[in-house]
Structure 1
Amino acid sequence: MDISQADITVWPLPTASTRIRGGGLTRDQLFRRLGDMAGRANLGTGLAALTEYVGASHYLLARYDLSQDNGLDFVVCSDWPFDIVRRLSAIVIGLHAKTTELEKCLSVLQPMFYSLPDDIDLPRGISREYCAVTFNVGRLRFSLMLLVPEDVILSQENLRDVTLLAGYLASFTTRAEVRHDRDFELTERELECLFWIAEGKTSEEIAVILGISRNTINNYITSVMRKTATRTRSEAIAYAVRNNLV
């Protein structure tokens, strides 16, 4: 099976009559544990507590905007088996390539379930379906991915708690844990071009405004789309609006 063609499933979230796994922690116990860790900036310990609370088995926190880079640098913190993580980059790239900017916007805070390829060996008792939830911390977008035991349905309420608290943890550890690669930051010129295409200007018009050649403008815009993992100017504009860049 081509890992870029991994199945995507959006499952209905459980109703009151659905069998739901209870996590190992109550909400009060979770809050106390997180409170005890306050100020220590221990992202892994915090994510492990969230994973136990929701009833999942393994966590992986990733930088959503860096997943276009075909490597492991987009992984912020994880206890997934390494062999699976090594395959994950290509899987995520394949999923993002089939997702529009509108779909990316609508997916924020919405639990999604994806299928891992059949040729990946999973720990005994772990489902091939994993849960992913995206959220923003400032202008950065993260994805929390959870491996789940077989025959388990995660609670909508617990997933909402986990997503919000994961954002809280990430906000305190971003400086220490997240790679800031200049290759993924837009330059002043690229931001200027992005602003003007959002204003509806053509490359020729932007060239006149900025006093540089049309080919140079097109190069800047191509660079913007590469860095933002977008395929068209419209998608780049949508990305810019969603991330408060214009």
Structure 2
Amino acid sequence: MEISTTGAAWSLQTAAPRVSSRGISREQLIRRLGEAAERSSLANGLAILTEYVGATHHLLARHDLSQDGGLDFVLCSDWPFDVVRRLASIVIGLNAKTTELEKCLAALQPCFQVLPDDIDLPRGVNRSYCSVTFNVGRSRFSLMLLFPEDVILSQEGLRDIAVLASYLASFKAGAGVRHDRDFELTEREIECLFWIAEGKTSEEIAVILGISRNTINNYITSVMRKTATRTRSEAIAHAVRHNLV
């Protein structure tokens, strides 16, 4: 794994440059991304975006996969492995603290986080990283970037590469992760969501559907796992946002 040894601080500017700090024009960027997409090369495409925006490392995460623990939520990364392993708990924690409304408002908005002091980074790599979230269908992704020293970051440029990363992520069928159908709600789960949205309790839904309360609670737990939500209210908000009820 190649690790850059430059880096230490970040700053912001408001306008996206026509040419990146690495000298890549937008026209060259689009052409190279098209070639990567034709080859279904997610890693090459993300490396191109990373180079364009002036970052050193990229990591593409899928949030619904983080609910199961482990590192399956990482679709593609050139971050040091030890950092990625520690990042798992950070991603799960941030996801758990974020409401459904906050997830909607955060889409395509660059957000800076700081890695804990006890995580060892390669010398010169900034402890701050940038995360930009986006949706592909009903799945929520984050592109996380590490930057070198004194790079001027463009918020507009970061939003641009998030849109382009969503384009690349749509070609991830061969990336070795579970497909979206594994996270689709069953008809019974959608029925439970509908009745929850109508204000019904588990006991009332059990009577309506003619099944036990424990079974209803199991359906609801499955819904929250699949939608990466923590409460029934968040599950309803997710369902409304995706036209499920």
- Please report the TM-score for the alignment, with normalisation by the length of structure 1: 0.85
For 1:194, the equivalent position in structure 2 comes to 193
* Runs of 5+ unmatched residues, structure 1: 1-10
1:50-89 correspondence to structure 2 within 5 Å: 50-89=49-88
**Cα distance, 1:219–1:149 mapped onto 2, change above 3 Å:** same
1:215 match? 214
Shift of residue 70, structure 1, vs aligned partner? 1.6
Give runs of aligned pairs for residues 129-144 of structure 1, distance below 5 A: 129-144=128-143
Q: 1:6 — aligned with what?
A: none
Q: 2:3 maps to which residue?
A: none
Q: In structure 2, which of residues 168, 178, 181 is the aligned counterpart of residue 180 of structure 1? A: 178
How far, CA to CA, are the matches of 1:57 and 1:24 in structure 2?
Answer: 15
Give the superposition deviation at 1:244. Answer: 3.4
Q: CA deviation at 1:209?
A: 2.2
CA distance in 2, matches of 1:15, 1:171: 28
Q: Which letter maps to 1:153?
A: I
- Shift of the 37–99 alpha-carbon distance from structure 1 to 2, 3 Å rule, reads closer
1:56 and 1:147 in contact (8 A); partners too: yes
Runs of 5+ consecutive residues of structure 2 not aligned to the other structure: 1-9
Label 1:198 to 1:23 Cα distance change in 2 as closer, same or farther (>3 A): farther
Distance 1:24 1:119, change over 3 A: farther
Separation in 1, partners of 2:33, 2:14? 28
RMSD: 2.2
Partner of 1:112: 111
Q: How far apart are residue 214 of structure 1 and its match?
A: 2.3
Q: State the secondary structure of the residue aligned to 1:106.
A: helix
Change (3 A) 1:131 1:178: farther
Structure 1 residue aligned with 2:28:
29
User: In the alignment, residue 77 of structure 1 is paired with which amino acid?
Assistant: C
What secondary structure is seen at the aligned counterpart in 1 of 2:211? Answer: coil
Cα distance, 1:226–1:137 mapped onto 2, change above 3 Å: closer
Where 1:153 maps in the other structure, the secondary structure is: strand
Q: Alignment identity in percent? A: 77
1:159 corresponds in structure 2 to 158
**Bigger relative contact order, structure 1 or 2 (CA pairs below 8 A, ≥6 apart):** 2
Distance 1:184 1:124, change over 3 A: same
In the superposition, the TM-score normalised over structure 2's length comes to 0.86
